[in-house]
Amino acid sequence: MKKHLSMLAGGVAAAAFAAGAAQAESVKIGYMATFSGPPGVLGEHNRDGFQLGIEHLGGTLGDLDVEIIEADDQLKPDVGKQIIDRYLQSDRVDFVVGIIFSNVMMAVYEDVVGSETFLISTNAGPSPIAGESCSEYFFSTSWQNDQLHGAAGLQAVNDGVESAFLIAPNYQAGRDAMAGFKREFEGHGTIAGEILTQINQPDYSAEIAQIAAAGADAVFIFLPGGMGVNFVKQYASSGIDLPLYSGSTVDGTTLPAIGEEMMGGYSSPNFWAPDMDTPVNQRFMADFEERFGYIPSVYAAQGYDAAALIDSAIRAVDGDLSNKEGMRDAMRQADFESIRGDFQFGNNHFPVQDWYAGEVVSDDQGRATIALGDMVAEDFQDAYHQDCAMQW
Amino acid sequence: MSTTLLLIQTLNGLQFGVMLFLMAAGLTLVFGIMNLVNLAHGSLYMMGAYFAAAATAWTGNPLLGILFAIPATLLLGVVVEFITLRTLYQRDHLDQVLCTFGLILFFNELARVLWGSAAIPMAIPEALTGFVTIIPGLIYPKWRLAIILVGLLVALLLYLLISHTRLGMLIRAGASNRPMVGALGVNISLLFTLVFGLGAALAGLAGAMVAPLLSVEPGMGDPILILTFVVIVIGGIGSIRGAFIASLLVGLIDTVGRSFLPALLRELFQTQSANTIGAALASMLIYILMAAVLFFRPRGLFPPKGR
C-alpha cells in the first residue's frame, strides 16, 4: 500500500511540474543473467554484447548516464526471484534486462511486469509470455523458444527430408522442441523415431545406434550446451553421416569445441550470423573480438540489440523515464538500427523476423564460424501470438 | 529389434562400463582402505580431460596429450592428498564430505579461470579415427573399441597388482583391517598417498580417454561421480573385483535399458506417453538395481572379507 501511495505521489508530482522537470539524469538497469555453471558462457556472451551496445552509443542510453546493477541468477528460479525483489524494491531500476533461461524467466516475469517495470528479455522466450500472459511491459530482442525448432523443421522441409529422427532431453523445453520441429515438419515428412534422453547425459552411443537402425534420412537434435558437444563429437565418430539439424545446439558458444566435427555441416538456424551484411553488424564484429577476445555468438547479438532498443525508447521521451506509455510506444516501432537488419515486433512484443539456415565454415584464421545460409522463413512469427490479447 | 543393434548396444554398454570401472576402481580403494569419502573424484576425472586437451593443443598430438594426462593427474592427486585430505582421515564422514565438496567447487572454478567456461576441443588420435567392421553390417568406432581394450588391460594389471604383489597385499589387508596393518609397522601414510595417487591416475586416464567423445567443460565430472558411487555401492566398498563386475553391470543395464525399454513400452501401450515414461524408467533402472542389490546383500555383491 505504501508503495502505491508513493507512486501516486510521484505521479502527482510529475504532473504538477512541467514535463522537462521530471527528466532523470541517469537510467538504472538491472541486468540479470546466468553466469555460473556450464551454461554461464551464454550469460557471458550476452552481457558482453549488451555492454558493447552501450559503448557504441557513447556509454549512454538516450543521452542518459547508465548505471548497471549486474547479478547472477545461477540458473535457479528462487535466486532470480530474490535478485528481482532487490531490483524492484531497493534499487528501483528503470529496466530489467537479460535472463537466459525460461524457468528463471517464468519465476520473475509477473513480479517485474506487475510492478510496471520494463523487462527486456535478451534470450528466454517461453510460450506463456508470447501467448495469454503477454504484457505491454515485456519486450524480447531474441525469439520465442519454439521458433528455433520450427525453423529447423522448415529447413528440413526445404531440403526435401522425408523422414527424421528426433532427440531431445526429457524435460519441458526438450518436449517443446520436438513439438516445435514437428509442427512445421509433419505433413511434409514422417518421424522415423524419437528419443527423450536424460538431462546432462554424457554418453549418446545407445541413441546413435538407434538412429542407424531406424532408417531415417536426417536427424534433429535439441541438446543445448555440453549435451550437444557430447552428442556431436560422438556422432562424428560413429560412421553415420546423415545431415544433422538442430536447435540451440550448434552455435557460437559450442563451435570452439565442435567446429572440426561440424565443418561443412549446418549450424542451428538463426536470425543472425557473424557475416550478416548490415552496417551495424560490421561495426559490432569489428569491435567485439578486439574488445572481448572471442568470436561473438547470437547471444551477444541479442544483448547488443537490447541496448539499442532501450536507447530508442529513452530518446523518444526525451529522457523522461516516468513516461512509460511513451517509451512503450517507441519500442513497439522497433525504430533503431538493429544488428539483424529490419524487423518488427508482433502484437506480443516478440520479433517478427527472417530466419536463416547457417553453415559451419572456417574464417580467415582457420577457426570455425557460422556463415548465413538460405532463408528458411521470411517474417517468421511465433505460434502463440494469437493467444495474446494485446493489440496495437 | 535386430541382432546387430543388440550387439552394438552391448559393445556400447561394455565401453561405458569399462569407463565407469576406471573411475570406480580408484574411488572404491580410497573409500575402502582409507575410509575417506572423496566427492572430488569426479574433479580429478575432469582435470584429466583438461590436461589431455591442453597438452594436445600444446603438442598437436592427442596421444601425447592422453599420455601426459595420466602422470599429471597422479601428481595432482598426491598434492591434493598431501595438502587437504591428510588431516581428514581421523575425522568423521561429514567433515570429509564438506571438504571434498569444497574441492569440487574449487576445481570447477579453477577450470573456468584457466580454460574459460565454454567447452574446449579435443581430437581423437589420428590412427584411431574412423571405424572397424567387426562382422559384416556391424561397424563400430575404433576409439570406443580402444577404450574397451585399455579398460580391460587396466583391469588385468590391477588384478595382478592387487593379487600378486606386496603392495597389493597391503592394499587388501588395509581394506580388511586397517588398524592391524598399521600395528604391524606398515607406513600407512605412504600407503594412503600411493593409493590416492593411483586412484587419481585412473580417474585421469578415464577423463583423458573420454575427452575426445565428451564436452570438456567445467563441471563435467559431476554427473559421472554419482554413477561411480552407485557402482561401488553395488560392487561392495573396497573391492576391485566388485567394482569391475558392478561397472559392467551398470554400463550394460543402463545402455541396453535406454535403448530397448522405450521401444518395449511403445509396443505394449501404443500411446504418446510411452516415450516419456520409457525414458524416465530407463534412467531409473540402475537405481532400481542398486536398491535390489542392497536389499539382498546390504554390503554389496563382493564386500572385502573380514570386516
pLDDT digits (tens, 9 = 90+) for A282-330: 999 999 999 999 999 999 999 999 999 999 999 999 999 999 999 999 9
pLDDT digits (tens, 9 = 90+) for A241-293: 899 999 989 999 999 899 888 999 999 999 999 999 999 999 999 999 999 99
pLDDT digits (tens, 9 = 90+) for B90-149: 888 999 999 999 999 999 999 999 998 888 989 999 889 888 888 887 889 999 999 999
Residue B307 lies in a domain: no
pLDDT digits (tens, 9 = 90+) for A26-84: 999 999 999 987 788 899 999 999 999 999 999 999 999 999 999 999 989 999 999 99
Q: Which three cell numbers stand for residue B164?
A: 600378486
pLDDT digits (tens, 9 = 90+) for B80-91: 999 998 888 888
Place domain A146-270+355-380 in its CATH homologous superfamily.
Answer: Response regulator (3.40.50.2300)
Helix axes A205-214, A226-236, angle to 10 degrees: 60
Q: Taking CB atoms and an 8 Å cutoff, what residues of chain A touch B145?
A: none
Burial of residue A103 (CB within 10 Å: 0-12, 13-18, 19+) is: middle
Q: Which residues contact residue B151 at a Cβ distance below 8 angstroms, ignoring those fewer than 6 apart?
A: B15, B18, B19, B21, B22
CA-CA distances (angstroms) from residue A305 to A45, A81, A146? Answer: 13, 25, 21
Q: Which of B117, B262, B275 sits opposite A41 (nearest CB)?
A: B117
Residue B7 lies in a domain: no
CA dist A314 and A325 (Å) reads 11
Residue A360 forms contact with B (CB below 8 Å): no
Residue B274 lies in a domain: yes
Residue B160 lies in a domain: yes
Residue B119 lies in a domain: yes
Q: Which of A38, A196, A198 sits opposite B218 (nearest CB)?
A: A38
CATH number at residue B147: 1.10.3470
**Domain residue ranges in chain A:** 23-143+276-342, 146-270+355-380
Residue of A nearest to B224 (CA): A202
Half-sphere exposure of A229 (CA within 13 A, CB side): 27
Our count of domains for chain B comes to: 1
Residue B16 lies in a domain: no
Residue B188 lies in a domain: yes
CA-CA distances (angstroms) from residue A30 to A3, A36, A51, A69, A92? Answer: 19, 18, 13, 5, 9
Residue A214 forms contact with B (CB below 8 Å): no
Report the CATH fold assignment for A23-143+276-342: Rossmann fold (3.40.50)
A349 Rama sector, left if φ>0, alpha if ψ -120 to 50, beta otherwise: left
Question: A203 and B213: CB-CB below 8 Å?
Answer: yes
Calculate Rg over the CA atoms of chain B: 20
Q: How far is B294 from chain A (nearest CA, A)?
A: 24
DSSP string, A239-304: T----EEESSSSSTTTHHHHHHHHTTSEEEEES--TT---HHHHHHHHHHHHHHSS---HHHHHHH
Domain assignment of residue B291, given as a range = 24-296
Evaluated on CA atoms B227, B233, B238, B242, the torsion sign reads negative
| A244-246, strands of its sheet edge to edge | A190-197, A163-169, A218-221, A244-246
Confidence at residue A304, expressed as pLDDT on a 0 to 100 scale: 97
Phi/psi for B133 (5° steps) reads -95, 110
